[in-house]
Structure 1
Amino acid sequence: MKLYSLKDSSQEVTFLKAVELGLCKKQGLFFPKKLPFFKKNEIKKILKMNFFKKSYKILNAFIGKEIPKKKLYKIVKKSFSKTIPKIKKIQKNISCLELFHGPTFAFKDFGARFMSQIIFYMNKINKKKITILTATSGDTGAAVAHAFYKMKNIKIVILYPKGKISDIQEKMLCNLGKNIKTISVNGSFDECQKLVKTAFNDSYLKKKISLNSGNSINISRLLAQICYYFEAFSLINKRNRKKIIISVPCGNFGNITAGLIAKSIGLPIKKFIISTNSNDTVPRFLKNKKWEPRNTISTISNAMDISVPNNWDRIEELFKQNKWNINDSNYLNYDSVSEKNTKKSLKELHKLKYISEPHASVAYTVLKKKIKDKEYGLFLGTAHPIKFKNTIEEVLKINIKVPEKIKKYKKNKLFTYSINPEFSILKKILMEK
C-alpha cells in the first residue's frame, strides 16, 4: 500500500515506512493513496468470519505483501486476543458498542496493541533503538504504555495534561517504569499535542533518537480501529443492518475516521454522527463553514477536551477521494453536548439499567436527538465506567464496584515528571539515555 502526505502529496511511502515515520514532513498526516474495496459478496463472507480472521482480511487488504500473510495473522491475533468488542442492547433500536474490554479498559487498546506488534516486528528486522512520543487526553497513554511495556530497544515517552485525567487513568499510565516515561504538563491536551508536533518538526531530535508517535496520527493505529466496525456490524441482527447509524464520541477524531474508512471500503453503514462535548470546533465548522478553534474547555468527558483535532484533515481527504459531500447529513451528522446534558444522559442510561461513562453519554445524547424512525443506532462505549469512578458516583449517587484487574493499580506509586509546556524542557528529557 502506498500512502502520501496530506501536506505534500509528493511524499509517498509504504505502510511500514509510514508506521516508522509516524508523521510526515511539515507535520502532515499519512493517508492511503487508494483505498481497497470489498464487493457485496466479499463483505458477506467477511462478516461470517471470527474477529481475528475478519481483522486479518481487512488489514491484509491495506498492507498486502509488506508483511508475510502468516506473520500478519499472528500479529493480528496477538494484538486483538484480549480486546473483543461487545454489543449491549439499551433500548429497542439503540445499543452500545462496548470497546473497553481490553487490558487498559479503553478502545485505545485496539490501535495501541496492533501498533506495538507492528513496530516490534519491524524492530526485529531493523535492530535499532527508537523513542515513541505521544500525548494523551486520558486513555491513549495507558494503552500505549501497556502495549509496549518491557519491549526491547523501545522507549515510550507520554505527555498528559496535569490534573485533567482521572485518578485511575493516571495510576494506569504512570506506575509502570522500565521503558515507560510519563510527563505531567502544566497545560491542556492541545499544548501537549503541540509539544509532540514540535518534537517531530525538530530534524536533529528526530534523527538523533529515531522518534516515532503513538497517537492516532500513526497510520497503524488508525487501520486497526477499522476492524471493530466490521465486527460490530456482524453482531447486529440482519434485519437491522440496512439502517445502522453510528454515533461516535469525538476528540482527536481518529475513531470516526476509522469508521468512515470502513464505510468507504464497502461496509454498508448508513451514516455516522460526530458527537462532541463543549469543545465543538468541528460541529461549528460544519454549521458555519468557519474553522475557529477556541481555548480548550475542561469537561468530565476529558478525552474529548481537544479543540484542534488532528484527524480532521484525514476526514476531509476521505470525503474528497470518495466525492462525498461533507455537508450532506446522509453521510455525516453532528452535534455538541453540554456538561448538564452529559450528566442528564448518564442518569437516563442508569434508569435504563446501564451504567455508562461521560464519553459514551455524549454519543448517546446526540444519537437520541438525531435518530429517525426505522433507523438502528449504535453509540460507542470507549472506556469502562470505572475509569471515571468519582464523576459517575457523584452524578448517579451510587457506588461502583472496582474490577479486580484495576485494584492493583490504585495502590501503586506514580513515576512521572512535571514540566511547563516548554519544548526546551521536553527536548532535554527526550535526549536523556
Structure 2
Amino acid sequence: MRYRSTSRRAPLTSLRGAVLRGLAPDGGLYMPAEIARHSPEELEKFRKLPFTEVCFRVVKPFATPDVPEEVLWQIVSEAINFPVRLVSLSPGLHILELFHGPTLAFKDFGARFMARLMGYFVRGESRPLTVLVATSGDTGSAVAHGFLGVPGIRVVILYPSKRISEAQEKQFTTLGENITALEVAGTFDDCQRLVKQAFSDAELNKTAFLTSANSINVGRLLPQMFYHVAAYRQLPVASVPLIVSVPSGNFGNLTAGIFAKRIGLPVARFIASTNSNDVVPQYLRSGQFAPRPAKATYSNAMDVGNPNNFPRLLDLCRGRLEYVQKEIWGRAATDEETLCEMKKVHERFGYLADPHTAVGVFCWEAYKLEHAEPAQGLVLATAHPAKFADVVRKAIGSAPPLPERLAGCLKREKLSLPMSRDYEDFKQFLLAH
C-alpha cells in the first residue's frame, strides 16, 4: 500500500514514511492511495471470527508490505486486548461503548496500535523519535499510556490550561519517564497550531526527528476502523438503514468510519455530532468552511474550532459539497441540550452517558425528527462518564462510580510544565530537550 497527500503535491510514500513523518511535506494529510473493498460474504464471516482476527484482516491491506504478517499480528493482539460492548437501549438505538481500554476512552484503539507500529518502525534508528501531540482531553492520556516506556520514543503532549477535566489531566501529567506534558496558556487550537508549525519548521526538523500522534497521523486512523466493524459484528441483522452518530471534534473518528464504509461496511449515513464548535455542521448547511476560535463546553474533547481531518473528509468525497452531504448529516448540541440529554437517557433507559456520548444521542434524535424513513441509530460512546464526574453531577444530581484505575491517577502529583502559546518558546523547548 502506498500513501498520498491530500494536497497531492508530495510524492507517494510507504506506511512507514506516512506514520513517521505524520504530516506530508506539502502540508497535506496522508491517505491510502486505494482502499480495497471486502465482499458482503467476507463481512458476514467477520460476525463469526474472533475480534483480534477481524482487526488483523481489516488492517492488513493497509500495512502490506511494510509490516510482516507476524509482526502485524503481534501489534494488533497486544494493542486491542480489551472489549467493545454494544448496548441496545431500544430496538432502534444502540450504544457502542469504546471506553473499556486502559484510559477509559476510544482513543486507546488508535494510540496503542500506533505506539507499537512506531516502535517497530524506529527500531535501529540512531536518534530518538519525538512524538508531538495536542490534546483537548482524551488523546493525551491514550497516547501517554500507549507510548509509556517504548524504547527510542519520547512524547511531548500539549494541552490547554484549565480547559480539560481533572481526571483527563491527571491521566497523562503524572507519568514522567518518556512522557512530557506542556500546559499551554491558550486553547486547544493554539496547541494544534504549535504542533503544525513545528512540523513545517525546516530548521527544527534538521535537528529533531518529529512525528505526530494526533489524528493528523494516518497511523491513528487505521485502527479506528476496528470498532466500526465491531459494531457490525454485534448489531442484529436488520433491513433498515444504519445511521452512525459520531461525537466529533477533530473528525478523525468520523473519517475512520468512512474508511470502514469504503471497505464495505453497510452504513447509510454518518451524523457529525458536535457541541457549539459546529464548523462542520455549518459547512454542511452553507457550503462554507469557516474555522473559528474554539469555545469551552462541557464536552471538552470536542472543543475544536478548526478540525484537522476536514481535508480528509473532502478528499474522501472528491471535494464536492453534495457528496459530503450524501455521506454526512450534521447537528450541534448546546451545553444545556447536552445536560438535558444526559438526564433524559438516564431516566428513560437507566443508562449513564458522558457528555460527548449525550451529544451523539441528541443529534441522532434530531436526525430522526427530520427524516421520517425507517432507520436504526448507532451512537459511539467515546468516554467513560467518570472522566466527567462534575458534568454528570450537574445532569443527574450524583457523580458516577469512580473506576479504580482512574482513582489511582487522581492521587498522583501533576508533573506538567507551563508553556506560552508563542511558537518560538515551544521551538526553543524542543531544541533544548
Q: TM-score band (shorter)?
A: over 0.9
Matched letter for residue 318 of structure 2: K
Matched letter for residue 262 of structure 2: S
The 5 A counterparts of 1:275-314 are: 275-314=273-312
The 5 A counterparts of 1:284-363 are: 284-320=282-318, 325-328=323-326, 331-351=327-347, 352-363=349-360
1: distance between equivalents of 2:323 and 2:143? 35
The 5 A counterparts of 1:24-423 are: 24-82=24-82, 84-239=83-238, 242-320=240-318, 325-328=323-326, 331-351=327-347, 352-371=349-368, 372=372, 374-423=374-423
1: distance between equivalents of 2:389 and 2:217? 30
Question: CA RMSD of the aligned region, Å?
Answer: 1.5
Residue 278 of structure 1 contacts residue 338 of structure 1 at CA under 8 Å; is this kept in 2? yes
The TM-score normalised by the length of structure 2 is 0.96
SS of 1:334 mapped into structure 2: strand
2: distance between equivalents of 1:36 and 1:412? 46
- Compute the displacement of 1:327 (Å): 2.4
- Compute the displacement of 1:427 (Å): 1.1
The share of aligned pairs that are identical, in percent, is: 36
Residue 46 of structure 1 contacts residue 57 of structure 1 at CA under 8 Å; is this kept in 2? no
Q: Provide structure 1 residue ranges, at least 5 long, that are not aligned to the other structure.
A: none
Matched letter for residue 197 of structure 2: T
SS of 2:238 mapped into structure 1: helix
- Compute the displacement of 1:395 (Å): 2.1
Residue 337 of structure 1 contacts residue 365 of structure 1 at CA under 8 Å; is this kept in 2? yes
> Aligned in 2, Cα 1:395/1:349: closer, same or farther, shift over 3 Å?
same
SS of 2:329 mapped into structure 1: strand
SS of 1:74 mapped into structure 2: helix
- Compute the displacement of 1:432 (Å): 2.7
1: distance between equivalents of 2:192 and 2:378? 30
SS of 2:331 mapped into structure 1: strand
Matched letter for residue 93 of structure 2: I
The TM-score normalised by the length of structure 1 is 0.96
- Compute the displacement of 1:32 (Å): 1.2
Matched letter for residue 308 of structure 1: N
**Does residue 429 in structure 1 map to residue 426 in structure 2?**
no
1: distance between equivalents of 2:322 and 2:42? 23
Q: Provide structure 2 residue ranges, at least 5 long, that are not aligned to the other structure.
A: none
2: distance between equivalents of 1:50 and 1:74? 15
SS of 1:316 mapped into structure 2: helix
Cα distance per residue 1:344-396 (max 9 Å; x no partner) = 10100110201111100111001012134531111111000000011111221
1: distance between equivalents of 2:292 and 2:88? 36
Cα distance per residue 1:149-189 (max 9 Å; x no partner) = 01122110000000000000001010000110000111110
1: distance between equivalents of 2:292 and 2:225? 30
- Compute the displacement of 1:40 (Å): 1.7
